[in-house]
Chains A and B, each alone.
Chain A
Amino acid sequence: MKLVIGIVRPEKANDVLEALYRAEVRGVSLSRVQGHGGELDRVETYRGTRVQMGLSEKVRFEIAVSDPFVQPTIDALCEGAQTGDVGDGKIFVVPLERVVRIRTSETDDDAVTPVRK
């Protein structure tokens, strides 16, 4: 089991969701974050004040998956989020110690496997 964390451009978040859906990855959390990843700074002007926007809006995906789903999840994140310019984001894969599905108390692989009907 791994936790796949993907930090992507907000304008690519929908493409990532579509790619994850196609890869049959179902359990996803996402949050809006701000970060800096070496992209060229954007300059904005308000009356006499010029500012460099050092932080960019990003979207952070958190996806807990069983081992066979790790690579498809990474592929989907890359496919959906890539533009080729600096600032496309990062993917971090970290090991997971325990997972519990609250509704059923299932644990680990069972808990990260989507309910099939």
Chain B
Amino acid sequence: MIDSGDTAWMLAATALVLLMTPALGLFYAGLVRSRNTLNTFMMCIAALAVATVTWALVGYSLAFDGDAGIIGGLDHALLRDVAFEPREGTKIPHLLFMAFQASFCIVTTALVSGAVVERMRFGSFLAFAALWSVLVYAVLAHWAFGGGWLQAGGTLDFAGGIPVEMGSGFSALAAAMVVGARKDYGRQALLPHNAVYVLLGAGLLWFGWFGFNGGSGFSTGKPSVLAFTNTLLTPACTLVVWFALDLLRDRHVTAIGAATAIIVGCVGITPAAGFISPASAMLLGALAAVPSYIVIVWRPRTRLDETLDVLAAHGVAGLTGILFIGFFAQESWNGVADGLLFGDAAQLGHQALAVLVTPIYAFAMTFAILRVLGLVMPLRATAREEAIGMDVIQHGEEAYATGEGAILVAHEEPVPAIP
């Protein structure tokens, strides 16, 4: 039975999640230097292109066909038999379920680009995105959502702490290690060129996240309402704590810190959104700020140029959220399971298992993909190209073209406007 209310909300929620990818592009573009603005944004646009195609070809099928332990089947490859009948366990059309899940695969693929901006060649990123969206995202989505071994074993993940947040975060770590640091990293101050883009991007991401978490109940029922509301509460608490941490560290509340806090809060609540009470969600927001803040302060002191801190904002905050479920899940709110504090210690074990296994798989598989890809094509631009900027080198455009000194290349013979 299709429920028209559920279907209406999921149509809107899918569009909301799709907005998160260009929002992420804006967020990332503001964080890089001006000569790499377009290239950084284009990596997110590339995810919209590549990950949508791979998802329709095989990704969706591998993630959601059947409930084998490790990986799904190929019966839904090319979206075969994905039509208007309700998807098992929901009251929405299977086709819409597929589109909603596609938007997750897209934004997650875009997230990983944050580790390699300002130096990875665009063509190599396209190839990487195609492989990663299938070999990492679809597999982890199967484990967490598609009836794979983690979900079957009792691990709870409401909206993607495993495939989306830990998946992207720990893949970003591997990608930064294989691609290597930017040539000026550790030598020059590499500063964000437009903090307003960063704030606007973070705000739009938060807006889209209401569809991301609120849609992950696939209905207009209680879990969706709880998840939606928690998506408001948690990031607000993360913001407050982040302000305090910023003040303690440097006597200023920073704008880029605030934008980061919004992301960290949204990420933290993602796995737990429909499983914990609103009060617990507020506590999660406050707690999740701390480990991510520590990693964000520590990472630039290392040689690791994980440029836009995907590990700290997504990997670590996602891990915090997944573990938090093990303590604070509350059956009276979610109707599914209790956590340690409400009498079920086993749930913490299920959550801890995901926290151990997901980072290892994401890291190892991403490392392998990039190493193999590196044998076939150069992964990064040359030092000279990096110095000139990826916008001009990779795209032949500038984000802030003045037009001064630009000479129109005339066509051999002007074409009449009206033939």
Residues of A within 8 A of B (CB): 9, 11-12, 14, 34, 36, 41-46, 49-56, 83
Contact = CB atoms under 8 A, between A and B. Distances in A.
Nearest to B393: A42
A87 B101 CA distance: 50
25 contacts: A11-B387, A11-B388, A34-B404, A36-B405, A41-B407, A43-B396, A43-B409, A44-B392, A44-B396, A44-B398, A45-B396, A46-B397, A49-B408, A50-B409, A51-B406, A51-B407, A51-B408, A51-B409, A52-B409, A53-B407, A54-B406, A54-B407, A55-B404, A55-B405, A56-B405
B406 A52 contact: yes
B188 A14 contact: yes
Contacts of A45: 396-397
A98 B129 CA distance: 61
A83 B384 contact: yes
A42 B188 CA distance: 27
Interface string B384-419: 100111001000111001001111110000000000
Interface string B209-242: 0000000000000000000000000000000000
Main secondary structure of the interface of B (DSSP, over half): loop
Contacts, number: 45
Contacts of B392: 42, 44
Contact residues on B (Cβ < 8 Å of other chain), bracket: 10 to 19
- The secondary-structure label for the interface of chain A is strand
A34 B405 CA distance: 8
B345 to A, nearest CB: 56
Contacts of A49: 408
Contacts of A83: 384
Contacts of B405: 34, 36, 53-56
Contacts of B397: 44-46
9 smallest beta-carbon distances between A and B, as pairs: A55-B405, A11-B387, A51-B406, A50-B409, A54-B405, A52-B407, A54-B407, A44-B396, A14-B188
Contacts of A9: 387
Given A52-B406, A54-B407, A44 B401 contact: yes
A36 B404 CA distance: 12
A83 B384 CA distance: 9
Given A43-B409, A52-B406, A56-B405, 13 more contacts: A9-B387, A11-B389, A14-B184, A42-B396, A44-B396, A45-B396, A45-B397, A46-B397, A46-B401, A51-B406, A53-B407, A54-B407, A83-B384
Nearest to B184: A14
Nearest to A41: B407
A6 to B, nearest CB: 17
Nearest to B384: A83
B375 to A, nearest CB: 29
A40 to B, nearest CB: 13
A36 B401 CA distance: 17
Contacts of A54: 405-407
